[in-house]
Structure 1
Amino acid sequence: MNCVVFAYHDVGVRCLKVLLARGVQISLVITHEDNPTENIWFGSVAALCREEGIPYIAPEDPSTPEVIAQIRAAQPDFIFSFYYRHMLPVELLELAKSGAYNMHGSLLPAYRGRVPINWAVLQGATETGATLHAMTAKPDAGFIVAQTAVPILPDDTAHEVFGKVVVAAEQTLWQALPAMLAGQTPHLPNDLSKGSYFGGRKPEDGRLDWNKSAQDVHNLVRAVAPPYPGAFEQIAGDKITLTKTRRVPAALSQKLTQQYAGLAALLDEGRLYARCGDGNYLQIGHILINDKEVPLEHYLNYKTA
């Protein structure tokens, strides 16, 4: 079997390795040029292609006549998309004789759309995963081939969850490929009425709002913790970024409230706490001021009762 693959990021690297391990011929890979302004903390599809001798291109627009002509010439049985960042036009999808399939970082139909892992953490989800599904004109709407679930633990950051989803994507593709290559691709329902859709996120969306509950603030910090831009506030002209927080038991929050008369931030037995809108405290484990790491107690200079 012969395929053309659109791939980027760690999921792209690992799923390409799965295809190779399963003996699938990869005629062409389409990837992205790395953005010099972006924090590149993930694996390189282009580097893997060079190591394995796989032809690859990195066009700005995958839907140009030139790119489509290259894919048509490859006569692919399958087209795969593994964390490629552009939607692919139907004209291109139809070039795959046995179908075009995408690996999405959620348990569809939940969290369709952009940055699904970050949204799942932000929303307080306790589970997510990877889903291999058919590509259609509508994003993340085609039938499901297979999916694998992973847990989201209470203090997991989006980056930690992403690592689990990379493994889930690898497992999902590995398990699905034999049936797909035998012409027996599963067609499982993807009921959009039971799911959700979310758009992209910008660094500004990480702005802290201490009027929200401790759980909501904690979820935001986890969802955008490094290598993502971080949860931040601006006080007295300085940017303060929280990169690690922890929920504390209700009894401790009550004790701190009584002992410190509801201070907005306090240091107790060497631990830094900040008060949220629901009256509960979060423990702050790490902060940056103007993108530089500083001792936790420096935060007290910015917070008042």
Structure 2
Amino acid sequence: MKLVYIGCVESSSRFLQAIYKETDAHIAGIVTKAISHFNSDHVSLEQFATEKKIDWLDYQDKDSMIEWIKERQPDIIYCFGWSHLLSSDVLDIPKWGIVGYHPALLPANRGRHPIIWALALGLKKTGSTFFYLTKEADAGDILNQRIIQIEHDEDARSLYNKILKAGEEQVVEMTKQFIDARIEATPQDHLKANYWRKRTKRDGEIDWRMSTKAIIQLIRALTKPYVGAHAVYKGADSIIWKAEVSTLNPDHYTNYEPGKVIDANKNTFTVKTGDGLVVIQEHEWSELPKIGEYL
């Protein structure tokens, strides 16, 4: 199986290494981005390609990528962790098609930022799905899928790690099935599909009128490897990485307004929320707010 591989994020790197180590696929070329200002979890595949003496292309534009891929005459293309939708003139190159990846339980939750939205919305489960790419985003036939349970204290890093571990096993299994001509595809039920929109900066801003649970979910959803949730203090955005429910009795503060700082101790501080109290534990605030101040 002659494979061209496209990707530029952490999952791209992990899956590529698993394919190289665990299968007999011939990796004929790698397309990546040496630099990316778009992906917070960006990983260039340049070093891997150089070490393994595999031809690679630093993506600059679609036309040059198309010509470069055509020269390698791949049987199949894997495209994992790529911010560009592939046009029909790319989709038509390999005779076996192009395989994509989406960390959600397709057909549900197509679209953008699936790990972030799953955590921010408090979902109990998500998925790890490999599928054929088509002109419509995340809509192709499913090749391999697993359910991923989301624990009550899950954050972006821990969920990302669980999904990566499952994905490594899946991509090896799927690649071996392609090599042995045993692959099977299952059409998606498009009536069950929904699309998550692109996240904006405003989606990451904490509104202290939210419930304590919703605030903690948002912080967990946006923690590393992502950009972090933020709150405004003295006119500036300040990043928050970790928070937990306060052990103080919220009944003693029912007449306090949301956003008021209740306590501050060393590097942590406690804030009144819409229905309780939240302790901000890890953050990048250059100045700690004082007790009695409002955020």
Between the aligned partners of 2:291 and 2:240, the Cα distance in structure 1 is 13
Match among 131, 134, 156 for residue 133 of structure 1: 131
Deviations 1:157-215 (A, max 9, x none): 21221122111211111122222222232112322322321122233431111122222
TM-score normalised per structure 2: 0.88
C-alpha distance in 2 between matches for 1:41 and 1:59: 17
Query: Partner of 1:273 in structure 2?
Result: 270
Contact in 2 for aligned 1:143/1:190 (Cα 8 Å): yes
Structure 1 position 275, deviation (Å): 2.1
- The two structures have a TM-score, normalised by structure 1, of 0.85
Residue 224 of structure 1: CA displacement? 1.4
Corresponding residue for residue 25 of structure 1:
26
Partner of 1:11: 11
Q: Which runs of 5+ in 2 are unaligned?
A: none
Q: Which moved more, 1:49-58 or 1:259-268?
A: 259-268
Gaps (5+ residues) in structure 1? none
Task: Specify which of 101, 104, 113 is matched with residue 102 of structure 2.
Answer: 104
Number of aligned positions between the proteins: 291
Deviation at 1:131, TM superposition (A): 0.6
Could you say what secondary structure the match of 1:219 adopts? Answer: helix
SS in 2 for 1:300: coil
Matched to 1:14, the amino acid is R
Question: Is 1:234 equivalent to 2:225 in the alignment?
Answer: no
Residue 287 of structure 1 is aligned with which of 275, 283, 294?
283
Q: Which of 151, 157, 160 matches 1:159? A: 157
**What is the rounded CA distance, in whole Å, between the counterparts of 2:74 and 2:31 in structure 1?**
13
Structure 1 residue 70, shift from structure 2 partner: 2.4
Which residue number in structure 2 is paired with residue 224 of structure 1?
Answer: 222
Residues in 2 aligned to 1:72 and 1:268: alpha-carbon distance in whole angstroms: 61
- Residue type matched to 1:17 in 2? Q
Decide whether aligned partners of structure 1 residues 119 and 40 sit closer, same or farther in structure 2, where only a CA change above 3 A counts: closer
Paired with 2:121 and 2:254, the residues of 1 have a C-alpha distance of 31
Letter matched to residue 83 of structure 2: R
- 8 Å CA contact 1:159–1:226 kept in 2: the answer is yes
Cα distance in 2 between the residues matched to 1:225 and 1:300: 25
Is residue 2:257 matched to residue 1:257?
A: no
Residue 55 of structure 2 corresponds to residue 55 of structure 1:
yes
* Compared CA separation, residues 33 and 273, structure 1 to 2 (3 A): same
Aligned-residue Cα RMSD (Å) equals 2.5
Distance in structure 2 (CA, Å) of the matches to 1:40 and 1:209: 23
Query: Which position in structure 2 is the counterpart of 1:92?
Result: 90
Residue 274 of structure 1 deviates from its aligned partner by: 2.1
Among 166, 181, 204, the alignment partner of 1:168 is: 166
Partner of 1:187: 185
Deviates more, 1:153-162 or 1:263-272: 263-272
Partners of 1:12 and 1:221 lie apart in 2 by 25
Cα distance change of structure 1 residues 265 and 182 upon mapping to structure 2, 3 Å threshold: same
CA shift in 2, pair 1:190/1:43, >3 Å: same
Alpha-carbon offset, residue 91 of structure 1: 1.8
